[in-house]
Structure 1
Amino acid sequence: MASHHLARPRTAAAGPPTSPGPGITRRQMLLGSLAAVGGVAAASSLAGCSPATASAAGVNELAYWHLLSGGDGINMAGLVEDVNAMDHGYQATQTVLAWGAPYYTKLAMASVGGRSPDVAIMHASRVAGYAPGGLLDPWDLDLLAEFGVQESDFLERVWAKGGLEGEQFSIALDSHPFVMMYNLDVAEQAGALGPDGQLAPIESPEQFLEVARAMQAVTGKHGLSYGYLGDGAQMWRLFYTFYKQHDAEFDLSGPRAEVDQDAAVASLEFIQQLLDGTIATQSGDYGTAVSEFMSGESGLFFTGVWELPTAINSGLRFDAQPIPTLFGTPAAYADSHAFTLPHQSSPDPEQRRASYEFVADLLKNSFGWAEAGHIPAFQPVVQSPDYQNLIPQAHYAPAAEILNYDPEAWFTGSGSDFQNYFLETVQGVYLNGSDPADGFNAFVRRVNVQLDKPNPV
């Protein structure tokens, strides 16, 4: 049987904010607390010198904004501390802002008002709404290559997501897809493991239902944990995974959404089959699903890679993989945290050069980000022997090769209202067994209302 030992990340958790675990430094605890607080929190790096002494020493002081809270925030603080300690002529100071709309609003206002940070994290799915309005500066790929980072270091679709009209507006740090975790003990008792000790291939909707029911017979509660109640993002992640597995397009480039209704209805009907009270509860929220799987009350779990530290800390024997291809085309919903250059009217050349080196250093040293669950975008890290020995990360890493970002429009992407529109119009399909065609058509109508509006930024 394959080994399922997992390297323990530096973070206590990579998903929603949690209490810092044992072994976390006072500095990490402070930064994690700052990151979890709404509004703005500035966190000076404690590696080396303060910004004041950095300036006196002729070091480029870099302002770095991001929206990473909880365990992700602690982990990012550690990565910044590590690269600052490399003494490459910069000292990055983090500013952590509240996730979602508050972050993106403040980032836009900073760009318009001439108070932009040197570097900022954005979700790759949000770049299309910001770059056309002049809020982001394009990357100089020749300069980036001087620091050892180039297009060939990234998967094609991950790199392409940062491009717009021939220019590159973001450089991905990671991809964080929707994946499937599974309880090894439950899977073994259900007869679902293959000879390699991993889940045997599942290749059709009928086979998935059969495996999930076999696992429910073992747990006595549910075969699958999937929480969505009141959570449009969770609803959309699963729907869009199945929708894209039908090789269906969701095109928002014109005045009206171009969609495949048959694929949408088939995807929603299958989700209704899953939410039958036996395979999965019909009315579970995200927290309930996490708790259920971590306590051994289900065998399968649809979740994001950000829950890896939670699973590790639970002590569960588990593994993970891309969600099985049930409808013909390998596909997974995902987004990426990506580095951007918020617009500056007259950027200082040396400051910009230091910003490029800072980003390159973070990319090259993103193994710690991988330990916490995210799939590094910088492929030399993924292809390293150390990463290949990380289980289950190496088992679900192929999800990055089949990822699908949100349909491209100014109002889509993580932290936008797009997924809330899906919640408002389609939750009844999940919860009450409402007609899938009616729910999906209502969603498309809501999307078309947005397409009639101009991009506010």
Structure 2
Amino acid sequence: MKRAFWAALLSSAFSVSAAQAQEVVQWWDFLSGGDGARMKQLIDQFNTEHEGEIQIEATTLEWGTPFYTKVQTSAAVGEGPDVMTYHLSRLPLGVETGTLSPLTEADMTAAGLAPTDFQQANVDAATVDGQMYAVPFDIHSVVLYYNKERLEAAGLLDANGLPMGLDGAEEFKAALDKLKEGGLDQPLSIHDSTGDSTWRIFYSLLNQQGGQFLDENGEFLSGDNLDKAVAATDLMASWVSEGYAPPNIEYAASIARFTGGEAALHINGVWEVPTMTDLHAKGELFEWGAVQLPVFFDQPATWADSHAFAIPNNQGNEMTPERRAAVMQVIGWMAKNSTFWGTAGHLPAYNPARDTDEFRAMQPNATYSSLAETAAFDPRSPLAGVGSPVYDAAGNFLMPAVNGELTGQEAMEGMRDDLQGQAY
């Protein structure tokens, strides 16, 4: 009887010790739709593989400004999560407000990662003043979606099923004219009713000219950068004014114009790849593809951002070394298993995750994966990034110019002065 008692007691003590040894990682993200479903699958897989060791308890919050406001206020009172998703474009604000915990070499070692595992542009976007604050998870950008049947009929498709004759501003318009001759009244679809989508195209065109929206001295559109910004704006505006794309089209309507066959070309984020894939699988969409944006000016460049993982700097509630090691294991596992994340249209930021047979067979991602090498991340400023004053200014100045309500010169001067006033 005594032996049974002590055996039961020891078994109970062992169970309590094992339970205490398991680290529960509090996780916040802003992922919904296809992104959210795929992340849930990754989290479930992680939890299954690490049962009894590390478990993720995930909470999904509202995307954009509400998320970053909550993160900032929660970290300030020590009530933030252990780890969170974070746009690299918002990193400067997170650092300025003391919201983010710096990542050390020891942290990266615990994750089994090194900065050389990522594109340099990704590392630069995750770094402020030489200090890394986040681990990139993906690169997401805008791409050119195209209707293969329409382009083939217009003589704009090569033997590999890829668009041709689209590089150069005038060549692109000539291609649009061919598509109009083929029966499409407005062959290009862009979301031009808000600042966010117009900003992404504009910033791509500015960087294709080697332009800087924000220079090293903290000046917006200084010197000839203003002229390059006007040129980018005027090109976008010409697509509308010359009848290639309709004005003031809402987001869902811009997609519907393409999927409904009213437009042969559509500029949008890679996050709409699952939409196209699902419609095609159901027999509700034509043969389609997606490629990196054409080179309208001097060099390839495309606006890009990254979902990344960051650790909040929870004031007065310092994380234990054991918990921090567990968090870095979570981050490392996510990076090393991010090839699957490509099914959401994104490019895995972790280089080895793109250098796999699985990813090379993933279309159209593998076709536009070259944009990882020419990605143009948002300006490094607390005023820039998702839901930022730069996006607001794009809505107040750039978007009206694209729709013919302001000249490109008026818009860019107004945008420059507005943001410069906020910088001082």
After TM superposition, is the score higher than 0.5? Answer: yes
* Aligned counterpart in structure 1 of residue 327 of structure 2, from 345, 355, 368: 355
**Aligned partners of 1:100 and 1:272: how far apart in 2?**
27
Q: Secondary structure at the match of 1:206?
A: helix
**Aligned partners of 1:336 and 1:373: how far apart in 2?**
13
1:129 corresponds to:
93
**Aligned partners of 2:17 and 2:267: how far apart in 1?**
45
Q: Secondary structure at the match of 1:211?
A: helix
Q: Give TM-score, length-normalised by structure 2.
A: 0.90
1:36 corresponds to:
none
**Aligned partners of 1:162 and 1:64: how far apart in 2?**
19
**Aligned partners of 1:272 and 1:412: how far apart in 2?**
23
**Aligned partners of 1:103 and 1:179: how far apart in 2?**
26
8 Å Cα contact 2:165-2:175 kept in structure 1: no
**Aligned partners of 1:330 and 1:446: how far apart in 2?**
29
1:245-282 Cα shifts (integer Å, max 9, x gaps): 11011225546424311111111111122113631112
8 Å Cα contact 1:62-1:351 kept in structure 2: yes
**Structure 2 counterpart of 1:336, which letter?**
S
Q: Find out whether 1:250 has 2:216 as its counterpart.
A: no
Specify whether residues 362 and 264 from structure 1 end up closer, same or farther in structure 2 by C-alpha distance, changes over 3 A only.
same
* Aligned counterpart in structure 2 of residue 265 of structure 1, from 227, 230, 236: 230
1:37 corresponds to:
none
1:277-309 Cα shifts (integer Å, max 9, x gaps): 631112322211100101121111100000001
* Aligned counterpart in structure 2 of residue 81 of structure 1, from 20, 24, 44: 44
1:158 corresponds to:
122
1:37-436 equivalence runs, <5 A: 56=19, 58-87=21-50, 89-229=53-193, 231-251=194-214, 254=217, 256-259=219-222, 260-276=225-241, 278-315=243-280, 316=285, 317-344=287-314, 345=316, 346-432=318-404, 434-436=406-408
1:35 corresponds to:
none
**Structure 2 counterpart of 1:284, which letter?**
I
- Name the stretch that deviates more: 408-417 or 440-449: 408-417
**Aligned partners of 2:84 and 2:109: how far apart in 1?**
20
Percent sequence identity over aligned pairs: 27
**Aligned partners of 2:216 and 2:319: how far apart in 1?**
33
**Aligned partners of 1:61 and 1:146: how far apart in 2?**
17
Q: Secondary structure at the match of 2:49?
A: coil
**Aligned partners of 1:276 and 1:86: how far apart in 2?**
56
- Name the stretch that deviates more: 341-350 or 372-381: 341-350
1:96-122 Cα shifts (integer Å, max 9, x gaps): 111111110110111110112110111
Specify whether residues 212 and 446 from structure 1 end up closer, same or farther in structure 2 by C-alpha distance, changes over 3 A only.
same
**Aligned partners of 1:167 and 1:323: how far apart in 2?**
32
The runs of at least 4 aligned residues of structure 1 exceeding 4 Å deviation read none
8 Å Cα contact 1:335-1:405 kept in structure 2: yes
Q: Secondary structure at the match of 2:309?
A: strand
Q: Unpaired segments of 5 or more residues in structure 1? A: 1-52, 453-457
2:409 corresponds to:
437
Q: Which has the larger radius of gyration?
A: 2
Which structure's residues are more often helix, by fraction? Answer: 2
- Name the stretch that deviates more: 65-74 or 184-193: 65-74
How far did 1:71 drift? 1.9
Q: Secondary structure at the match of 1:248?
A: coil
Specify whether residues 54 and 331 from structure 1 end up closer, same or farther in structure 2 by C-alpha distance, changes over 3 A only.
farther
Specify whether residues 82 and 449 from structure 1 end up closer, same or farther in structure 2 by C-alpha distance, changes over 3 A only.
same
Specify whether residues 385 and 279 from structure 1 end up closer, same or farther in structure 2 by C-alpha distance, changes over 3 A only.
same
- Name the stretch that deviates more: 248-257 or 306-315: 248-257
1:147-179 Cα shifts (integer Å, max 9, x gaps): 431111101101111111221101110010111
How far did 1:387 drift? 0.4
Q: Secondary structure at the match of 1:357?
A: helix
Specify whether residues 136 and 422 from structure 1 end up closer, same or farther in structure 2 by C-alpha distance, changes over 3 A only.
same
How far did 1:69 drift? 1.6
8 Å Cα contact 1:119-1:339 kept in structure 2: yes
- Name the stretch that deviates more: 246-255 or 58-67: 246-255
Say how many residue pairs are matched: 399
Specify whether residues 86 and 219 from structure 1 end up closer, same or farther in structure 2 by C-alpha distance, changes over 3 A only.
farther
2:421 corresponds to:
449
**Aligned partners of 1:160 and 1:197: how far apart in 2?**
35
8 Å Cα contact 1:252-1:408 kept in structure 2: no
**Aligned-pair Cα RMSD in Å:** 1.8
